[in-house]
Amino acid sequence: MEATVEARVARTSASGGGALLVTGPRGVGKTYVVRAALEAAQANATLRGDPVHVDLAGARERAAQASGGAGAFEEDHALRDALDEALGGEGRAVVVDDADLWFSPKADARLVLTLVQALRDAAGRVIVLIAPRPDDLHALVCKAAPERIEIPVPSPEERLVIWRGTLAQYPPLSEPEPDKDTVDSLIRDVNARCHGWVAGDIVDLCHGVERLEDLAASVDAYVPGLFRADAGADAPFTVVSADRVSTSWDDIGGLEATKQALQEMIVWPTVYSETFSSLGVAPPGGVLLYGPPGTGKTLLASAVAKETNASLLSVSISDVVRGHVGESERMIAAIFAMARRAAPCVLFFDEFQAMFGSRASSGELGRKMIAQFLQETDIHVPGLVIMASTNVPEAIDPALLRPGRFDRRLHVPLPDKVGRETILRRRQATMRSWGPDVDVEVLVGATEGWSGAELVSLCDRAALEALRRNEKKITAQDFRVVLATASVAVA
């Protein structure tokens, strides 16, 4: 990435100067890449003079010390002075790190206008802004900085290089000098379990590990920034890392044909990607699971993540739809950005028709959301699997079902007799409190047309009946009471 940023800096400088916005998740190494790129540009004579790094944090601190606790006016004045000084200097490159902290949508208007004016009148200088996302900056700043470079989450191969370089800098982990083959094997092992990790995560973890033999255990216990609940302060969704996805094929009763179809559609192309690529077979753009409620569509998506050793990001309508203008589209973009960073990742949309219904009936907000979704799916990222569920497939906008979008549709039916028996027997084994008079065959016959979720609810309600009688065993009578009063959603 250093070469990419260097080339863009050189081009911007040669064309009379301007702004360059560098984005990427926190800890990915944006500042490091920018510094390295500017040093290379100086060495190659494509950039003259030393770059100037705007110290806004220092300006705020100095203002506070000078006045015994600066007020808002003194602080804003100090920040503008620091910005003016950096922009008015001799440096041909000016770097504003953590720009989102100073030029957010709610930032002081005078400070924002000072920067915007400088961006519009660069006068041969390259002004580099560093922030996690463009949306974190004031709209005027974004408009004045159209040139952008995103620093992505490192690939497994790039992450391996970071591991090696970081470990070499920590003497407690490299002394006494261990066997190189042993260390390489260990690094490869832990690296395979670090989906979504960035350089900052690796440095943070190594800083707290005292012995090399503790590294693997520390990796398993560490929660990288991407998977923390506060990874995005305004994001109601979180990514479940691959090692924490617990649902497997064996946990889903019945649906053998459906599971086999998903195995062939998604798991095989992912696990054997090189073989499929050599055959010229491309994985599906997306898989839509449709069928009655409670049939296990969400569990199937989780199992796909487990089988492909991928992270899981599950999204519902409450995660997407927002009241403010433009917020829903921004949330869709943020969801896809997080899924790409966590790749390999299964991105699952529950009740898809509620979010992306027909444009003819969903109004202006629905049309904008669909347009944003289509724009995001045009960006193809290896390892990102998009899945969705619905019980009303005909309500989904047709544009989303075309080739390259959700071009594979898979029916998830109600469990048949064998499926119902499998679900009930697994529930029996899990609960361990069924009396000897409970006949699973009788329950199977009495629950034709029931979904898997309803069968689980049947068992739970029978357990409550036993508790009402102050008994520790569930009897056949408890099941008969529940069956007599049950209301089945689908039949």
**CA dist., res. 136 & res. 131, Å (int):** 7
pLDDT of residue 422: 92
pLDDT of residue 95: 87
Q: What is the pTM of this model?
A: 0.68
What pairing do the DSSP bridges indicate for beta strands 345-349 and 311-315?
A: parallel
Q: Which residue has the higher pLDDT, 281 or 384?
A: 384
Q: Is the peptide bond before 292 cis (omega within 30 degrees of 0)?
A: no
Mean predicted confidence (pLDDT) in 187-204: 80
Q: Which CATH number among 3.40.50.720, 1.10.3470.10, 2.60.40.420, 1.10.8.60 corresponds to the domain 417-489?
A: 1.10.8.60
Return mean pLDDT, the chain.
82
- Banded model confidence at residue 156, pLDDT cuts 50, 70, 90: confident
Q: What is the pLDDT of residues 212-250, one digit of tens each?
A: 767 777 776 766 666 554 444 445 566 777 767 888 898
Mean predicted confidence (pLDDT) in 50-79: 68
Tell me whether domains 1-150 and 249-411 share a fold.
yes
Q: Does the pLDDT of residue 324 top 50, yes or no?
A: yes
With contact defined as beta carbons under 8 Å apart, do 358 and 397 qualify?
Answer: yes
Q: What is the pLDDT of residues 374-388, one digit of tens each?
A: 989 888 888 889 999
Architecture label for domain 249-411: 3-Layer(aba) Sandwich (3.40)
Each domain of the chain, given as residue ranges in start order, spans 1-150, 156-233, 249-411, 417-489
pLDDT of residue 258: 93
With contact defined as beta carbons under 8 Å apart, do 327 and 361 qualify?
Answer: no
Alpha helices in 98-252 (DSSP H): 99-102, 109-120, 139-144, 156-168, 171-174, 180-191, 199-207, 215-221
Q: Does the pLDDT of residue 174 top 90, yes or no?
A: no
Q: Does the pLDDT of residue 86 top 60, yes or no?
A: yes
Mean predicted confidence (pLDDT) in 347-364: 84
Is 1-150 a domain of CATH 3.50.50.100? no
Q: What is the pLDDT of residues 96-131, one digit of tens each?
A: 888 888 888 888 888 888 888 878 877 677 888 999
**CA dist., res. 164 & res. 183, Å (int):** 9
Mean predicted confidence (pLDDT) in 45-54: 74
Report the range out of 41-50, 155-164, 453-462 with the highest average pLDDT: 453-462
**CA dist., res. 449 & res. 420, Å (int):** 10
Q: Which residue has the higher pLDDT, 138 or 25?
A: 138
Mean predicted confidence (pLDDT) in 84-103: 77
**CA dist., res. 482 & res. 471, Å (int):** 16
With contact defined as beta carbons under 8 Å apart, do 32 and 139 qualify?
Answer: no
